Amino acid sequence: MASTSLNSLPDGIDPSYGGLKLTIFNCILLVVVSLCVSLRFYTRRLVKAPWALDDVLVFAALVFQTALAAILFDALRTAGLGYHTSYLEFTAPWKVQRWGKELFAGTVVYLLCATAPKYAILILYKRLFIINKVRICVYALMATLVVYTIVMIVVALAACRPFAANFDPTIPGAKCINKEDLYRWGPIVNIATDIAMLILPMPIIWNLHTTRRLKLGLTLTFLTGSLGLIISIIRIPIFFQANSFTDGTYTGAELMIWTQLETACYLIPACLMTLRPLLEKVGHSRIVQTMKGSRLGEAARGVFNSPKPSDGRSGENKAFDLKLQSLQPSHQVRIHAQGFHRLNNSAVDT
């Protein structure tokens, strides 16, 4: 860290380092999100589907997630992230100001990280749901996300006067809002939109005239989008317990783990919700067919195969199956099934 001997440190200064967990977490997370996004685009290629706006947003979210990780890697290397602020002030005081710059940049990128995949999921909702009232709710959530993100970025940019006080609050005459409250309470709107996105599809799913098994399967599909909500709720008390500006370089190492986990838990579900064709392809593979003759056969059928409707169901309900991308290239086909709207691979509705 610094050439200062540990024996020369004043009493009360802790030289311990807490950045290793963040380093390991960053590496693992980048691999996981890159894999999920790659699988999403492999699935698109598998069904010969053109890129849509939600694909662009998912790719952008991966770029933002990578940028956030890069900022934190740089902070670990050049801004003393993981060390106590008191130790840095004694050994390398310039690193404290450097951390202020890294935190400022990370705040803006975090907002983009959280918004892009959620917007992609809402575009998927818009494509699936044909009921006007539901679509109005989707548009309202889209508008809320855009306004929230813009407002939060503007507030972050205008938080201090002069602007340089964002990085160095010791500047004479500097005035700043309470940034800690901003970090603690800012995500409340984000959580509210998460809850709305979780609830929105449920009445439609459970009013379908289909098997309970299929309803549960659809519910679980949409519940994957609630992973970010769970992490957001867990993250709030953690931010209340640890002040990111009091000994920020040390507490920030843990807080940034939760921050990145939250954004990743928006991006990963945005990918998982579109992997049905890939799972079906795997389900029809030779390996899985072999499994069907073993004790694992029932489990394999439950995971990879679609539930078969009874003979008494209407043709419309037989046709209904939440395949987010069609496996067979064809002309545009629209199937209306009690509020759901299925598009084939050439039908891009943005």
Q: What pLDDT band is residue 190 in, cutting at 50, 70 and 90?
A: confident
Is 309 part of a structural domain of the chain?
no
Higher-confidence residue of 179 and 55: namely: 55
Give me the torsion for CA of 319, 324, 330, 334, rounded to 10°.
50
Give the mean pLDDT of 87-104.
Answer: 90
CATH number at residue 29: 1.20.1070
Q: Is residue 189 part of a domain?
A: yes
pLDDT exceeding 90 applies to what percent of the chain? 38
Q: Which residues make Cβ contacts (< 8 Å) with residue 158, sequence separation at least 6?
A: none
| 249 occurs within a structural domain | yes
Q: Are 238 and 258 in contact (CB under 8 A)?
A: yes
For residue 171 the two structure tokens come to: 């500047």
Range of the domain at 56: 20-277
pLDDT for position 6? 57
pLDDT of 333: 36
Does the residue 346 lie in any domain? no
What local confidence, expressed as pLDDT, does residue 286 receive?
Answer: 52
Each residue of 144-168: pLDDT tens digit? Answer: 999 999 999 999 888 888 888 888 7
Q: 250-282: per-residue pLDDT in tens?
A: 999 999 999 999 999 999 999 988 888 888 777
Answer yes or no: is 326 within a domain.
Answer: no
- The answer to whether position 311 is within a domain reads no
The pLDDT, as a whole number, for residue 320 is: 34
Smallest CA-to-CA distance from 65 within 115, 110, 99 is with 110
Is residue 82 in a domain?
Answer: yes
Q: Please indicate, yes or no, if residue 348 is contained in any of the structural domains.
A: no
Q: How many domains does the chain have?
A: 1
| pLDDT classification of 239: cutoffs 50, 70, 90 | confident
The 10s digit of each residue's pLDDT in 56-79 is: 999 999 999 999 999 999 999 999
Q: What is the pLDDT of residue 301?
A: 43
